[in-house]
Structure 1
Amino acid sequence: MSHRRDPSAERQRGDAMSGPLAPGLYIVATPIGNLRDITLRAVDVLSHCELVACEDTRVTGRLLQHLGVSRPLQRLDDHAGEAVLDTVLNRARTGAVALVSDAGTPLISDPGFRLVREARRRGLPVFAVPGPAAAMAALSIAGLPTDRFLFAGFLPAKEAARAEVLRELQSVRATVVFYETAPRLLRSLSQLAELWPDRACAVCRELTKLHEECRTGSAAELLAHFAEHPPRGEIVLLAGPPVDRPVALADADDLLREALGRSKPSKAAAEVARATGLDRRELYARARTLTGG
């Protein structure tokens, strides 16, 4: 896929403001706690845009007041009707419109998907103004593998639905990141302890705020701790990849018998060795025994 330069957007991509913002929709990340985490570019866009579309005008109003900025605000949450989308996108056709959520990066378990999809459908420019995101902040400090991870949003509130999601994700060989609420954390940890008992987990809460905490351990250990110390604040719950359990040589017979049904002993031993990490020569000797060779 090729990417063409958009000369009309060069002004908004520079290191510093040198004129008015190019028309379009700007997806602006805002602090998840510490207000000093806002980027310089985010401040530029919020200071010079023509309209700020936001999840809650009161929350965004306080942020703009802190920044010393006054801009028109338009509430745009998941319940926004088509008329609101039209209003925002019509403004973005001729001027710069910023989209923010209450905290973090819009669309990441926050409103904005319908707006961005419709903006792209109408051929309007959409610009990323990246910055804080609770999922990324938690991954950076939890000490769990980050070479592969899956962001799974909020776990369902009901126990049966939550268990179904966890079973669906059970075989994903990556760190799984959830958002969770304090009142539901114990129930989620209880099901993790039951369904994913061997995985390393982490609970990160109040990220970037005064009482920031990142606690690691098994789900059962975390459950015991937070049962004694009821959690407060906003929470990111992480679970590391599945643990590979070593296979004993004596337990490999079934795998060998299956492989011997389609291959000679040497190939069967090599196949099982790749699958289990066991020594190929020992497996070959066992395969010969199983075949009476």
Structure 2
Amino acid sequence: MIVQHSFQTAGASNGQSGGTLYLVGTPIGNLEDMTFRAIRILKEVDLIAAEDTRQTRKLLAHFEINNRLVSYHEHNKEASGPELIRLLEAGQSIALVSDAGMPAISDPGADLAAAAAARQLAVVPVPGANAALSALIVSGLPTERFLFAGFPPRERKPLAAWLTKLQRQEETLICYESPHRVAKTLPVMLEVLGDRRIAMVRELTKRHEEIVRGTIAECIAWLEEHPPLGEYCIVIAGLSGEEAAAAQQEETMWWTALSLEEHVAHYETLSGDRKEAIKRTALDRGLQKRDVYNEVMKK
């Protein structure tokens, strides 16, 4: 097996050929969150690639940045991505920005960063504001371990399946939701996850910043009185250690509602082998195989 190693030294492209791809964080609402370093990098690079050039043009104008601006987003990445890589390989430096916050998180910037890294090009983070982490630290929920789950599916059935995969996570969960979807998403969360503690955070760093903390049911009631406005970051409590242990025990003891005969029949359906089914049933229940055999053969 051939393993491809990728090594990048500190200090941008030090020791590497080609240009540098800078992943530049931009404000998520408050322009005062723009860092000195981000402004400097955006002024120095050869090219700025933006998810929404109209939005980014306003930001650049505010900070008097006049560099060339090109579009790179989900709908043109197949064409724009290879061209940006070609420019990087030719030695140009490129800054990638998203509409707001850190690029390459749940957006096509991740593909460009991966493509650059795969070609041994330098990929350098220029940290800035981030909605998910900002929401987490004000949520009042545990921050030691967390899982960013991105955007929930839009339709109810895929949403329920998505939540089911997350329901036994002990980590605090973080996801994004639109104002048009949040009132539909929370009832499905309540159904699948139970009435957990959550925080609904919107308009982060802006004038109308709002943090609503409570159970899922309480937050549903809040939205009925306060129509949702702005993009939401939802932070959800994970399972406690005790709840996780109980869930694991419940999963392990899935067969408790079955009779001995039904238990054997379940495994026999799966394997087609009655002896194997008796063996696995005995193992589950901590019984001797002969005792299970004698019991089911009486029937």
Superposition TM-score, scaled by structure 2 size: 0.76
Distance between the aligned counterparts of 1:189 and 1:55, measured in 2? 29
Distance between the aligned counterparts of 1:7 and 1:180, measured in 2? 37
Query: CA offsets, 1:117-172, max 9 Å, x none?
Result: 21122221111111111100000100111111110000011011111111111111
SS for the counterpart of 1:182 is: coil
Superposition TM-score, scaled by structure 1 size: 0.77
Query: Which residue identity is paired with 1:24?
Result: T
How many residues are matched? 247
Structure 2: runs of 5 or more not aligned? 247-252, 257-282, 288-299
Task: Report the Cα offset of residue 241 of structure 1.
Answer: 1.1
Change (3 A) 1:45 1:194: same
- 2:272 corresponds in structure 1 to none
Change (3 A) 1:167 1:140: same
Change (3 A) 1:4 1:187: closer
Correspondence for 2:124 among 123, 127, 145: 127
Structure 1: runs of 5 or more not aligned? 11-21, 248-253, 263-293
Counterparts of residues 1-293 of structure 1 (less than 5 Å): 5=9, 9=13, 23-93=19-89, 94-243=91-240, 244=242, 261=286
Query: CA offsets, 1:221-263, max 9 Å, x none?
Result: 000001111110111011101243598xxxxxx9xx999948x
Check whether the contact 1:53–1:74 (CA below 8 A) recurs between aligned residues: yes
Check whether the contact 2:151–2:175 (CA below 8 A) recurs between aligned residues: yes
Check whether the contact 1:197–1:220 (CA below 8 A) recurs between aligned residues: no
Task: Report the Cα offset of residue 95 of structure 1.
Answer: 2.0
Task: Report the Cα offset of residue 7 of structure 1.
Answer: 6.4
Check whether the contact 1:181–1:234 (CA below 8 A) recurs between aligned residues: yes
Distance between the aligned counterparts of 1:184 and 1:81, measured in 2? 27
Check whether the contact 1:176–1:241 (CA below 8 A) recurs between aligned residues: yes
